Amino acid sequence: MNSLNRTPILPQQTTQGSQAPQQTSVIINDSNLWANIPEELKERAQWAVSGASKAPLYVVDGNPVPAKTNDPTTWMNFNDACTFAWNNRGRVTSHTDKHGIEVKQQGYSIGYMLSAEDPFTCIDLDIKADTPQEQCDRASSIIKTLNSYTEYSQSGKGFHIWVYGNIGKGLRRDNVEIYSQERFIICTGNTLKSEPIKYKKDILDNMVSQLQDEKGKFEPLPDQPQIESDDSIMEKAWNAGNKEKFQALWFADLDNDSEAIGLDHSQADLSLIQMLAFYTNNNDQLIRLWHKSNLGKRIKANRKDYIESTIRKARQNQAHDEYEANIGKKIADNLLARYNAQKPIGINKFIPTNLLDVMNRPPMEWFVQGVLPKKGLATIYGLPATGKSFLMLDLLFAICKGEEWFGMKTKQSKVAYINLEDIHGMGNRLHAYQERKGLIPDNDFLYYEISLNFKEKDHVEELINSIKEYAPNCGLVCIDTLAQSANGIDENSSTDMGMVIGKLKKLSSELNCLVLIVHHSGKIQGSGMRGHSSLLGAVDCAIEISSNGSTKKWNIAKSKNGANDIERQFHLEPIPLGMDEDGNPISSAVVTPVIDIQAMNNHNKILEDQNEDNKRILKVINDNPNSKQKDWGEILGFEKAYQMTRAKDALIIKGFLIENGKTVTLTQKGLDLLKI
């Protein structure tokens, strides 16, 4: 579907019941994040790739074929897995799940094959949209107690905790899974805790003992009096979060090949009865409701022995679910007690950061070098009719396409644009842009026309979930305008503005992106942004737009880590778009930069100097492949070790180098730069 012709709808709150399976289009995490994966895992040749099915694959003659978790001959090294995934990042794979839903994924994931021969264990915490808050809190306590390397799962909702210590055969209870061998774990590098992998054998042993405590058979939950009417239960089931599956089972015609619920008759009966059993503890009512469905009208479904065995199995499963929930609580409570006992008194909340770690952090990344950072908050502001929305749209499309913007290179990314102000003029702007500047980047541009209000409790969370669904790895979210997104607040109030800033930061943090806000300036040009000064303090970059007749200008009013002396002039070039039904001309405009030759030359000189520095570093690494990092630093004249680390990391981010364990090699892009 064309993203410019659709308006994604924010997810709605679901009623009681599990979430219905959805058709999804998954895109794997940014490959730059793979650098965050611990070296202890990278250096072992226990890697594989996976597509939409999430099953492990290895590469034979350039093609992915099934790999086995117990056969090391089907495993890959980290570098080969990353290379294949990167080279096939545009390839789409598909898989039909157990519900008959087709799942698609663009690109390949990478993952680690756990083996009895390695010292690692992975704790998988499964968090879904309908996971109870109590279980989410338990997961948080487990993460806190283990305090080891933790990353988000591929969905962005669950977590994988990596520790030293082998438990043998894997175990699972409730939403907690523990694996040490014969298991494929997809790795994202999207870190929640960038701690080293830590030795936690004692805690693992305790968790295993808790999981294995009770293995008895489960008696079915007892039959109880009816409480609600049949109609009341049907209304709840019909509108629950898993309503699509319920309705498919209710109307199921399993003799029809077009029926795609993926179950045989007995499985379908049990699945439907378990859904109904969630709402009633009375067996007579359960049987009566079942027999109203298409499945219940079959001859077999009216046999007494079949009815009794199916109801018993459903009630046993309910008892088992309650047992697992209690076991999960016991594990979490035990871990939390250990954590609380181990916490240092008085200093547990504030832990100092090592200065060497700070110096070794990778350099800052930019969407537009020195102008627009890749993370945090930014704003474009100005008086009405200065071209704010036109300039913003021009910037967003440049980033979508990875094209230069005002002579400056951009980093390509998906963007989401929340248009809250000029909905009616948007169509003409799109036509004008396409007329003058070429095709609109449809696949990477997510467009919303919604009633977003930061004062509403759930709006930010719903927007986050929507963007994750429609545009995974979206790097930039633009809100046009701030005033419309916080309708009814007092912009001059520190309390109200603080609330808005908190919501914007949550949006940035949850999506790991830059949030760009279009805002108004004060009544007089040059008087700064409208509203409380805390907003200017919170943003990483502020771009001010001013107007002098037909010539307009943007300049950097604030940049925390970039240049403050950048400014560019532009015109709004009128673009005729034909006539309306009354014969009146239709037009819109596009941004046309006013070329400043001196500024362009200065900027190009900076880029040339940067390329020369990059070539000098790459040449030293290429000429001395067996030397250590500190030796490269000495050859280059770096006085501190962290200077070489930062230079190397910057070249990895730019795609000139790749690091595999302790080996650093030039990519084809790096080799090409040396030839210039």
Q: Using an 8 Å Cβ cutoff, are 532 and 491 in contact?
A: yes
- Report pLDDT for 656: 85
What are the structural domains, with CATH classification, of the chain? 3-211 (no CATH), 366-595 (3.40.50.300), 604-675 (1.10.10.10)
d(CA 454, CA 562): 29
Per DSSP, 3 falls in state G
- In this structure, the strands spanning 102-106 and 25-27 are parallel
The whole-angstrom separation of Cα 88 and Cα 108 is 7
pLDDT of residue 12 exceeding 60, the answer is no
Burial of 578 (0-12, 13-18, 19+ CB in 10 A): exposed
Q: Which residues are 96's β-sheet partners?
A: 102
Q: What is the pLDDT of residue 18?
A: 33
Burial of 365 (0-12, 13-18, 19+ CB in 10 A): middle
Q: 338 vs 631, which has greater pLDDT? A: 631
Over its C-alpha atoms, the chain yields an Rg (Å, rounded) of 29
Backbone angles phi, psi at 623, to 5 degrees: -80, -20
Under the banding of pLDDT at 50, 70 and 90, the label for residue 21 is: very low
State the amino acid at position 296 in one-letter form. Answer: G
- Asked if residue 476 lies in contact with residue 415, where contact means CB atoms within 8 angstroms, the answer is yes
pLDDT tens digits for 335-359? 555 555 555 444 455 667 777 777 7
Out of 414-423, 484-493, 591-600, pick the least confident: 591-600
Q: Are 450 and 11 in contact (CB under 8 A)?
A: no
Which residues in 251-345 belong to E strands, given as ranges? none
pLDDT digits (tens, 9 = 90+) for 550-591: 889 999 988 888 777 788 999 999 999 888 888 888 999 999
Q: Do the bridges between strand 415-419 and strand 445-448 make them parallel or antiparallel, or are there none, so unpaired?
A: parallel
Q: What is the DSSP letter of 550?
A: T
Q: What pLDDT score was predicted for residue 408?
A: 87
Pairing of strands 551-559, 567-579: antiparallel
Q: Is 135 in contact with 56 (CB distance < 8 Å)?
A: no
Q: How many CB atoms lie within 10 A of CB 341?
A: 7
Tell me the β-bridge partners of 105. Answer: 26, 93
What is the C-alpha to C-alpha distance for residues 645 and 654, in angstroms, rounded to an integer? 14
Q: Which of these, 51, 37, 63, lies nearest to 90 by C-alpha position?
A: 51
Q: For residue 567, how far is the Cα from the chain centroid? A: 34
Task: Give me the sign of the Cα torsion angle 27, 29, 32, 34.
Answer: negative
Q: Is the pTM of this model over 0.85?
A: no
Which H or E element spans position 635? helix 629-636
Q: Judge whether residue 25 has pLDDT over 50.
A: no
User: Whole-angstrom Cα distance, residue 88 to residue 558?
Assistant: 40
CA 451 to chain centre: 23
Question: Which candidate, 201, 202, 191, places its Cα nearest to that of 41?
Answer: 191
Q: Tens of pLDDT along 515-564?
A: 999 998 876 666 678 888 888 888 999 999 998 888 899 999 888 887 77
3-state helix, strand, coil in the chain (%, to 5): 40, 20, 40
d(CA 550, CA 573): 10
Closest CA to 478 of 420, 422, 404: 420
Closest CA to 551 of 567, 530, 563, 527: 567
Closest by Cα among 31, 48, 36 to 89: 31
Quote the tokens at residue 573. Answer: 């070039």
Nearest by Cα to 392 from 277, 496, 502, 480: 480
Q: Report how far apart, in Å, the C-alpha atoms of 171 and of each of 96, 350, 512 are.
A: 26, 35, 32
Arithmetic mean of pLDDT over the chain: 81
| pLDDT tens string 178-187 | 998 889 999 9
Q: By three-state DSSP, how is residue 367 classified?
A: strand
SS3 625: coil
Q: What is the pLDDT of residues 279-303, one digit of tens each?
A: 998 999 999 999 999 888 888 888 8
* Nearest of 419, 426, 478, 409 to residue 451 by alpha carbon: 419
Let me know the angle formed at the C-alpha of 104 by 99 and 110, rounded to the nearest 5 degrees. Answer: 110
For residue range 142-168, what is the model confidence (pLDDT) as tens digits? 888 888 999 999 888 889 999 988 787
The residue to which tokens 């090294």 are assigned: 77
CA distance 363 to 375: 12
DSSP helix/strand/coil, 660: strand
pLDDT of residue 487: 83
What are 88's two structure tokens?
């096939």
Q: Is residue 141 a contact partner of residue 80, using CB atoms and an 8 Å limit?
A: no
pLDDT at 525: 65
% of residues, the chain, pLDDT over 90: 24
Q: Which tokens belong to 456?
A: 């509403």
394-413 residue pLDDT tens: 999 999 999 999 888 899 99
- Residues whose CB is less than 8 angstroms from the CB of residue 586 and which lie 6 or more positions away in sequence, other chains included: 428, 576, 577, 578, 579, 580
pLDDT at position 332 is 55
User: What DSSP string describes 88-132?
Assistant: TTT-EEEEE-TTS-EEEEES-EEEEEE-TTS-EEEEEE---TT--
pLDDT over 60 (residue 14): no
Residue 7 CA to residue 447 CA, distance in Å, equals 7
CA atoms of 512 and 514, how far apart (whole Å): 7
Residue 511 to residue 505: CA distance in whole angstroms: 10
Residue among 357, 36, 356, 31 at smallest CA distance from 197: 36
Cα–Cα distance between 192 and 501 in angstroms, integer? 22
Positive or negative, the Cα torsion across 124, 127, 131, 133?
positive
Count the residues in the chain.
676
